[in-house]
Structure 1
Amino acid sequence: MSAGIGLRRSLLDALQQAPLGAFDFLECAPDNWIDVGGALGEALRDLSQRHPLSCHGLSLSLGGPAPLDMAFLSRTRQFLDQHRVGLYSEHLSWCSDDGHLYELLPLPFTAEAVRHVAKRIGQAQDVLGRRIAVENASYYALPGADMDEAEFITAVLDEADCDLLLDVNNVYVNAINHGYDARAFLARLPTQRIASYHIAGHHDQADDLKIDTHGMPVKDDVWALLADTYSLHGVRPTLLERDFNFPPLQDLLEEVARIRQLQHATSQHHG
């Protein structure tokens, strides 16, 4: 059982002073830290020596049309090795073509897209020298699908032989926005491929429109869905994601403690 928190620059000081045992691991985006020196680099080294570090990439554009950035992948491998990172994940989406789009765009749920992205995941795993996990994305439009999302994700995982980082908030947001049953969707995902979970807050634009923002506390419905996820697929390392609008660290640590409570309750129930 483990519950982690996202390593963000604005939380650096607070995380360095956090009480021992307040969280089990930290997760950072290597894209934001590779080649960072000075006081920031020193703070990262200090934290990664004291706490296990996982990494969640932002800019690989696994589903994109442009060739993968092999130099960046090599630098990422060095970073992962240097900080003894156990889990590296990226998004099952694309974010660049002729330059960076600064948006994670969904892939069409088609057999062609499965082959395209699986091949690129395979290339990335070869350069990184490790299995990676891909994260299910939130999406707001669905052009030209010939399968549904659960089929698409499962097909990619099988074809690429990689793992899944299951973002529970994204499942909730997509289920509301696209009118499907979140628990039924979760039940169709392959348990043995799930490496870890993410949980985050979202913005209620309307009853039938939720926006994945990572800028507020996790909502009760998403906590309930996390409990469902644990009972369906078992407890895995779970990260609280918060990207802006930061409250005092103590508020975030209370959410981390809530993850631990759910993990403990699941283990007691299934034990």
Structure 2
Amino acid sequence: MNKPFGMVGMGLRREMLDDILASPPQQVDYYEVAPENWMTLGGKYAAQFSELTARHPFVCHGLSLSLGSPAPLDTQFVSDLKTFFATHNIRCYSEHLSYCSGDGHMYDLMPIPFTEEAVKHTAARIREVQDRLERRIAVENVSYYAAPGQQLSELDFTRAVLEEADCDLLLDVNNIYVNSINHGYDARAFLAAMPSERIAYGHIAGHYVEAPDLLVDTHGDAVCDPVWQLLQQAYQIHGVFPTLLERDFNIPPMAQLLEEVDQIHVVQSLDKSQRGIA
């Protein structure tokens, strides 16, 4: 799979800037940021960020586009995104298949009702965003803890939105695992039903074990063995796709983060060797 930003990535946080600028890790092909956290920065952080985006491929993973919201699309925000993407040569833009606004901003990712009406509404908003940005976007399968007004399965809803919107997929392997435990479904079957041709890249992350049947998607811990195994299954099913390590808090020293980045390389190489790919 030929992607313009490389095969193994890492989420960038501000506290990593000095380390990465001083000694860029060779095993990281590309970086990901939430554009909302960087678009309005000035001073030292803005200068450092511009230096990094001039040196390395970057992708963006948004937090506040609120694709499933009943509120009007924030077209000024989309216009600001377009300018930011052009300034920093952002290679791919993804958002959550969720919503975070109604009468106001909730600062959390809420589940879109799994209904036919929501499919059409969300897909129409994605198409409008793509038209305004003049680029395809990817949407991420999200973790969720309740499904109000559910008419469709998570799988059917996700596939229907991708098809109706004609957009790409950010395949979050950890979210599939978390949801499979919390909602009692077969993670491999869900994974296998995702459309290979729409996968732009993937996420892998850690989560918190609240109880044996309740996992919380925190991005605050190391990736666990079952998620690594599910990533390997994802490559076996869909082929090796670009994959990025997410870590949003409890951020360990860079050397420890890079051990997990190295593990993505190992899993990708293992799948390639099994397929007889050089």
TM-score with structure 1 setting the length? 0.98
**Does residue 96 of structure 1 match 2:111?**
no
CA deviation map 1:82-140 (0-9, x unaligned): 11111100000000112210110011111000000000001111111100000001001
Number of matched pairs = 271
Give me the whole-angstrom Cα distance separating, in 2, the residues matched to 1:174 and 1:124.
27
* RMSD (CA atoms): 1.0
Q: CA deviation at 1:19?
A: 3.9
CA distance in 2, matches of 1:88, 1:256: 21
1:85 aligns with 2:98: no
Amino acid at match of 1:113: A
Question: What is the letter of the counterpart of residue 173 of structure 1?
Answer: V
Q: What's the offset of the Cα at 1:57? A: 0.6
Gaps of 5+ in 1: none
Equivalence for 2:181: 176
Q: Which residue of 2 aligns with 1:222?
A: 227
Residue 258 of structure 2 corresponds to 253
Residue 229 of structure 2 corresponds to residue 231 of structure 1: no
Deviations 1:197-244 (A, max 9, x none): 001000000111000000011111101110011111111111100001
Q: Distance in 2 between matches of 1:116 and 1:46?
A: 39
Segments ≥4 residues shifted beyond 2 Å? 17-20
SS at match of 1:86: strand
Q: Which amino acid in 1 is paired with 2:51? A: D
Q: Give the TM-score, by structure 2 length.
A: 0.95
Quote how far apart the aligned CAs of 1:18 are. 3.1
The offset of 1:269, in angstroms, is 1.3
Match for 1:145 among 150, 169, 190? Answer: 150
CA drift at 1:35? 2.5
**Does structure 1 conserve the Cα–Cα contact (< 8 Å) formed by 2:8 and 2:27?**
no
Structure 2: where are the runs of 5+ without partners? Answer: 1-5
Q: Aligned-pair distance for 1:152?
A: 0.7
Which whole-Å CA distance do the structure 2 matches of 1:20 and 1:255 have between them? Answer: 13
Letter in 1 for 2:269: H
Matched, 1:191 2:196: yes
2:166 — aligned with what?
161
Among all aligned residue pairs of Structure 1 and Structure 2, give the percentage whose two residues are the same amino acid: 57
What is the correspondence of 1:21-32 to structure 2 with a 5 Å cutoff?
A: 21-32=26-37
Question: What's the CA shift for 1:159?
Answer: 0.4
Q: Which one-letter code corresponds to 1:206 in the other structure?
A: A
